[in-house]
Chains A and B, each alone.
Chain A
Amino acid sequence: MDKQAQRHLFEGIIDQHKGILFKVARAYCPDEEDRQDLIQEMMIQIWRSIPKYNSQYKISTWLYRISLNVAISFYRKNSIREKRHTELTEQLAETLEDKSENEKQLNLLEQFISELKEIDKALMILYLEDKRYAEIAKILGMSVSNVGTKIGRIKDQIKLRFSQLKIIRQ
């Protein structure tokens, strides 16, 4: 693939699918400044991987693999983030007061997702993005039945967190 074609494809992919990168980055990296670095790293990996792109996979499957792999590796290398994460949780609780009900719920959902273990988080993002179990299995590299079992478990966990919060608020 010549450089011009690679550039064209890269810009097209980023323009059309940047939402994937941002959602994954938001889930794995609550800190705005670090998130920019994470997105930059994802873009670098996409650029490098374009010549190896296998058209048997959907672009979104390919992109999810790259962005999730980069995000999980980024977390591993920068675990300082965990501390900031706790601080952000406290800040979140304070700032929730001024927001609309929908925004509060969304902040809580994001908060609960960020509390999940790294691979559970990937699974939950894909589930919420309405991906079919077969596609999730392809992205993560696990069996379809395992996807179903794990999703069920994580959903219960999140529902429990919402109901616990409801009890506290009452």
Chain B
Amino acid sequence: MNELELKKLWQTTNDRLDENLILSKRNSEDIVGMKVYGIIGSMKPIKFFALLIGVFWVGIGGTALSSIYLNSFSEANKIFLFSASFQVGLTAIALLVYLYQLITIYHVDITDPVIRTQEKLLNLKMSTLWVARILLLQLPVWTTFWWNETMLNEWGVLQWTISLFFTISFTAIAIWLFFNIKYENRNKKWFQLIFSGKEWTPLMTSMKLLEQVEDYKG
């Protein structure tokens, strides 16, 4: 089939479209009458809910921790306090990255050339990896929250060995993941295993698209 035949064949879709063009007047009237939603209005409820929980968690956690630092630092369990501060701090940073993502996506100009727009959107989607990296850094503190000063005096070698084994392992895993969760490793098996769930599909699809965009820019 030559070029002319291909184009001629494609033009016949016009006949088919005529049959299918049931673009109802109501459809466009709905859009014309539609309110222009802001960022919050255009978010999926589940994401909005997750954002609210995050803000609530950081708000409550931040307030409680500040109060301990200011009023009862000397009596507080320091290990718990530092673990909790680290956890709340990292969640706050992850929230900020997420908010930045939301605001920037909302301001991307959809009328810009396709490759430029897609590159912007895909790079923003890639920043989801930053959220994952930051949140995974919290791993070690989940093993130290419950430590207290009594343990330091009373625990034997075996108890400490088990406890430190988990803390050191989790720290090593968290640091390794922090440095290795990146676009360049997208084709590695461990990467695909971590990001294999349904909720990660848009991210993995974005990576494939980004490869295409890079190919077109090259």
Q: How far is the CA of A129 from the CA of B10 in the complex (A)?
A: 8
B-contact 0/1 string along A112-148, CB 8 Å cutoff: 0000011110100000111000000011111000100
Across the interface, do A122 and B3 meet the contact criterion of CB distance under 8 Å? no
Across the interface, do A72 and B10 meet the contact criterion of CB distance under 8 Å? no
Across the interface, do B111 and A14 meet the contact criterion of CB distance under 8 Å? no
A45 within 8 A of B: yes
Across the interface, do A49 and B9 meet the contact criterion of CB distance under 8 Å? no
Across the interface, do B216 and A140 meet the contact criterion of CB distance under 8 Å? yes
Q: How far is the CA of A117 from the CA of B122 in the complex (A)?
A: 16
Shortest B114–chain A CB gap in Å is: 5
Number of interface residues of A (CB under 8 A): 57
With CB as the reference atom, state the residue of chain A lying closest to B32. A7
Shortest A13–chain B CB gap in Å is: 10
B116 within 8 A of A: yes
B71 within 8 A of A: no
Residues in A1-57 with C-beta less than 8 Å from chain B = 7, 10-11, 14, 18-19, 22-23, 26, 39-40, 43-45, 47-49, 52-54
Q: How far is the CA of A48 from the CA of B202 in the complex (A)?
A: 24
Given A23-B13, A159-B1, also A52-B111 (CB < 8 A): yes
Contacts of A22 in B (CB 8 A): 17, 20-21
B81 within 8 A of A: no
Across the interface, do B118 and A72 meet the contact criterion of CB distance under 8 Å? yes
Shortest B214–chain A CB gap in Å is: 11
Contacts of B112 in A (CB 8 A): 65, 69, 141
Q: Which of B126-134, B172-180, B204-212 contacts A (4 or more CB under 8 A)?
A: B204-212
Number of interface residues of B (CB under 8 A): 42
A58 within 8 A of B: no
With CB as the reference atom, state the residue of chain B lying closest to A76. B205
B12 within 8 A of A: yes
A-contact 0/1 string along B1-23, CB 8 Å cutoff: 10100110110111011001101
Across the interface, do A69 and B9 meet the contact criterion of CB distance under 8 Å? no
Judged by DSSP, the binding face of B is: helix
B193 within 8 A of A: no
B-contact 0/1 string along A138-162, CB 8 Å cutoff: 1111100010001000010011001
B115 within 8 A of A: yes
Contacts of B14 in A (CB 8 A): 19
Contacts of B93 in A (CB 8 A): none
- Give the contacting residue for A118; candidates B7, B9, B209; CB below 8 A: B209
B31 within 8 A of A: yes
Across the interface, do B34 and A109 meet the contact criterion of CB distance under 8 Å? no
Across the interface, do B1 and A18 meet the contact criterion of CB distance under 8 Å? no
Given A19-B14, A77-B202, A102-B12, also A65-B213 (CB < 8 A): no
B27 within 8 A of A: yes
B201 within 8 A of A: yes
B-contact 0/1 string along A59-72, CB 8 Å cutoff: 00010011011101
* 18 CB < 8 A contacts A-B: A19-B17, A22-B20, A39-B23, A45-B110, A65-B113, A73-B121, A79-B201, A80-B201, A102-B9, A109-B9, A109-B10, A128-B7, A139-B114, A140-B114, A146-B216, A155-B3, A158-B6, A159-B1
